[in-house]
Chain A
């Protein structure tokens, strides 16, 4: 074992880094634990940024470019901080043929952003999902992880309005 094993220092004093370190320790600082660790970082901080990737890569002795390659390969990982609220439109097949594209157009239009973007005030992010597995309730969207079944444009606007500061 090289002497630097697990000795890379976290990017800040933030307590959440202890959770990240715990994940790495649980896996014996194995390189194979890269994805598991990135999951923990994203769960703790909401996204992955350069300093966190650098910290994880050094701790696990994974080349920097590999860590970046992995982080950008998987769409579950985000390199941008999410908005305060997240609206995920499901674009699974069942949702698609039951009107998901129209829902997406609606939300993009009413917020003035495209999928994958966050409003300028950092309030709402719009994302799309491949399939959330709630096909029998199609079309669905997730509002901060809560599934909204059999959604239509009117209800969609209502849901978004609830997030708007009064």
Chain B
């Protein structure tokens, strides 16, 4: 299909919208579906069909609207009203109000800081378009960036824009994306690959899932542009088997993109060819690590191998391979459309652009947010997130999942960017933010993450395999009130050793949750050890006594 034909689809779609601006959008992302939004959508369809708006007000399923804790969410156009906690019984009332005053009882203010403080780049279409219709995406400037890249830019120019944007890998480590792309592009090889890491494994993180469920075409477009830039003609999306909805929508998106000639040969009527295949993960956190992910796509056990050589030099099937995560690819189309400088104008000196966070735990507005880099933790948690519920006291926010750490109150005014988080003993990670109040025990939290790392360790290298098991045993001993101060010293020794000697990132970062809680909440460890009591009342200290200890 030629660029002109694509543009025509987009303008037809826009024109159709203009002719009939009335529309009801129901959030059909995983969160709202779990709160029964499916039934709400059906009820709305029935209410429309049985009333004066019959055939005049389409009811569309859209992607994530963000405020998951108040789902199911429904929005109306043209008024732009947002309804929360909608039940099927509310359908008639909502349909009746499409052209009149809003149903106040159900209304969720768009003026909430939760919405006002957000900036949509990755999530610009999320909750706006139907993720199962490529026409919706095209009407929202979709694939304009790809056409622009293919017809107006040389691969090196595409990489130049990505470099100028200052975009850093959103999977956790924050490696400069432009640099990665140019390394792959420069590698001498016949074949190169592009991999999208959608094996979002951090517990408490669902950013990638949401992007895939809400705007899958955006990820495909980012990957195709990457393929063009680095000279690859094949891409893989490695997605968690635990995300069936995301998989289904990706499959639909790939099929539709192929149908319009956006995947396959002669993309956009040029010589460029690119194909994308899905590969399902099978429940192994370690496969988020690049070399383990590659081993898994090759059909083997997901065990990492020492680097160098880096995947950019020798990756999938031995060929130079570009691996970025979902959010990184999702940033690419707007960067190409608006230019790298536009993107670099957002964020901080060393962390450009925006970041998507999954805000969960003991916080009022749980859900998905996108804010500029550099916003303070206090703003994110207490303004955007609405603070800690039930009048309880904020204790810590956990970022970066099992590789991250717990950040205490004294750092709340710290700007959120890669470097500040690292300085505070945590990491940006993929974007999970779990807020904890005074009812959480930080030793128990450390034990929780160590259990995670122990059972997710691939077992290849000794420090991670046996070290995490020893550390877990020590943490359990502390929680049960059976530990002595020597055990704490041994735990710290092990943290240092496992961090410095493990083969891959999983082991190297496994001690982080322990180290950060030891750094800021050492008194809680000491209370368990010396007074045999858990200040938060979570651990059953002294309940389990082993003979001879």
A and B touching (C-beta < 8 Å)? yes
Seen from chain A, the residues whose Cβ lies within 8 Å of a Cβ on chain B are: 30-36, 38-39, 62, 66, 69-70, 73-77, 91-94, 96-98, 129-138, 140, 145, 147, 149
Segment at the interface with A among B30-38, B468-476, B492-500: B30-38
List 14 A-B pairs, Cβ < 8 Å: A33-B299, A35-B282, A39-B280, A75-B283, A77-B282, A93-B360, A94-B203, A96-B448, A129-B242, A134-B34, A134-B206, A136-B31, A136-B367, A137-B35
Across the interface, A136 reaches (CB within 8 A) one of B33, B244, B280, B360, namely B360
The reply to whether the CB of B355 lies closer than 8 angstroms to some CB of chain A is: no
Complex contact B279–A135 (CB within 8 A): no
Note all chain B residues with C-beta closer than 8 A to A93: 203-204, 360-361, 398, 401, 432, 434, 448-449
Q: How far is the CA of A62 from the CA of B440 in the complex (A)?
A: 48
Chain A residues with CB under 8 A of B388: none
User: Among A73, A76, A137, which residue has its beta carbon within 8 angstroms of that of B68?
Assistant: A137
Q: Is B452 an interface residue (CB 8 A)?
A: yes
Bound complex: CA A69 to CA B299 (Å): 11
Q: A38-B282, A76-B241, A130-B201 are in contact. List 18 more A-B contacts (CB 8 A).
A: A34-B300, A36-B280, A69-B301, A74-B282, A75-B284, A77-B282, A93-B398, A96-B448, A97-B362, A98-B362, A130-B203, A130-B242, A133-B243, A134-B31, A134-B206, A136-B360, A138-B360, A147-B34
Docked Cα-Cα span, A129 to B208, in Å, equals 18
- State the Cβ distance, B513 to closest chain A Cβ, in Å: 10
Is residue B436 contacting chain A, with contact meaning CB distance below 8 A?
A: yes
- Of all chain A residues, which has the CB nearest B296? A35
Q: Does A32 contact B204, Cβ atoms closer than 8 Å?
A: no
**Which single residue of chain B is at the shortest CB-CB distance from A133?**
B206
Asked whether B445 is an interface residue with its Cβ less than 8 Å from the other chain, the reply is yes
User: Does B351 sit at the interface, judged by CB under 8 A?
Assistant: no
Bound state CA distance, A70 and B300, in angstroms? 6
A36 interface neighbour in B33, B203, B279, B440, Cβ under 8 Å: B279
B204 close to A131 (CB less than 8 A): yes
CB distance from A119 to the nearest CB of B (A): 23
Question: Which residue from chain B places its CB closest to the CB of A39 in the assembled complex?
Answer: B280
Residues on B lying within 8 angstroms of A by beta carbon are 30-31, 33-35, 68-69, 71, 200-206, 209, 241-244, 279-285, 296-302, 358-362, 366-367, 398, 401, 432, 434, 436, 440, 445, 448-449, 452, 456, 458
Tell me how far the C-beta of A114 lies from the nearest C-beta in chain B, rounded to whole angstroms: 15
Bound state CA distance, A10 and B200, in angstroms? 35
Kindly provide the distance from the CB of B40 to the nearest chain A CB, expressed in whole angstroms. Answer: 14
Closest 5 CB pairs of A and B: A74-B282, A136-B68, A76-B283, A147-B34, A93-B204
Closest chain B residue to A75, Cβ basis: B283
**Which of A34, A93, A133 has the most chain B CB atoms inside 10 A of its CB?**
A133
Q: Are B283 and A135 interface neighbours, CB within 8 A?
A: no
CB-CB < 8 A to B30: which residues of A?
133-134, 147
Question: B241 — which chain A residues lie within 8 A by C-beta?
Answer: 39, 76
Check if A94 sits within 8 Å of B283, measured CB to CB.
no
Of A31, A66, A91, the residue contacting B203 (CB under 8 A) is: A91
Chain A CB within 10 A, most for which of B203, B366, B436, B458:
B203
